[in-house]
């Protein structure tokens, strides 16, 4: 009987040890999965246009924009840095599945922001554009070279809108006010990455002229 108990005790201890090891392995796997999810989330945040979950979906320009027809031609031209690129209109910066395919090939116009004809007609507001800075699709790779007096142009339908460089500055990705804020004057705002993916370079340019093509 004593031998039988000893065998039973050994089997019980072995089973307990196996269960303990399994718990350790499961705990380690859970920690790795947890860290992995956060790492992926952080990586996605850093590559996002902004931390755009804070951007409202109901502020003023939205309803006004819907009333306007979209022209066939929309492009940005900056002669001083050799840029001439087509713009895709009303691109949602909160949805990576929408904006990433666009900025691989084009400059994007931010959803809920004004079009150039609107800011020219009403005398205030921001037209917001964003694009990559690096790689083959780095259409905004030379934005940091802009200087006082440089001209920027938007062709929108049968009109050309002329802007003059005003200032450049750097923001963190959580400063979504650069996207949601209003301007008391007609303003073109450009955004691209800065310092890798950790910051955003911003360019502001004031509207100075409108021309028929």
CA end-to-end span of the chain: 104
Q: Same domain for 120 and 58? A: yes
Q: Same domain for 201 and 131? A: yes
Q: Cα angle vertex 104, ends 102, 109, to 5°?
A: 40
Q: Same domain for 72 and 174? A: yes
Q: Same domain for 26 and 124? A: no
Q: What does pTM read for this prediction?
A: 0.72
Q: Same domain for 34 and 62? A: no
Burial class of residue 36, CB neighbours in 10 A (0-12, 13-18, 19+)? exposed
Q: Same domain for 200 and 101? A: yes
Q: Which domain holds residue 16?
A: 1-47
In the chain, which ranges are continuous DSSP H helix? 2-47, 61-66, 96-103, 116-122, 177-180
In order along its 213 residues, the chain shows pLDDT tens digits of 444 556 666 666 666 656 555 444 444 433 332 333 233 333 344 445 554 445 555 545 544 555 456 788 999 999 999 999 999 998 988 888 999 999 999 999 998 889 999 999 999 999 999 999 988 999 999 999 999 999 999 999 999 999 999 999 999 888 888 888 889 999 999 999 888 778 899 999 999 999 999
């Amino acid at each position: 009987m004593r031998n039988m108990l000893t065998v039973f005790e050994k089997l019980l201890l072995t089973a307990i040890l196996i269960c303990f090891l399994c718990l350790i392995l499961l705990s380690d796997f859970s920690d790795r999965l947890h860290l992995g999810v956060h790492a992926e989330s952080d990586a996605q945040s850093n590559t996002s246009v902004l931390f755009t979950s804070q951007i409202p979906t109901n502020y003023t320009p939205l309803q006004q924009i819907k009333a306007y027809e979209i022209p066939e031609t929309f492009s940005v031209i900056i002669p001083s840095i050799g840029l001439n690129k087509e713009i895709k209109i009303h691109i949602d910066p909160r949805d990576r599945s929408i904006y990433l395919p666009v900025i691989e090939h084009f400059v994007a116009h931010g959803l809920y922001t004004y079009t150039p004809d609107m800011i020219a007609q009403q005398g205030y507001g921001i037209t917001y554009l964003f694009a990559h800075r690096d790689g083959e699709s780095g259409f905004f790779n030379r934005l940091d070279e802009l200087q006082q007096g440089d001209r920027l142009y938007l062709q929108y339908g049968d009109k050309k809108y002329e802007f003059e460089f005003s200032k450049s500055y750097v923001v963190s990705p959580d400063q979504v006010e650069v996207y949601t804020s209003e301007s008391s004057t007609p303003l073109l705002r450009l955004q691209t990455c800065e310092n890798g993916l950790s910051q955003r370079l911003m360019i502001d340019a004031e509207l100075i002229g409108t021309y028929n093509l």
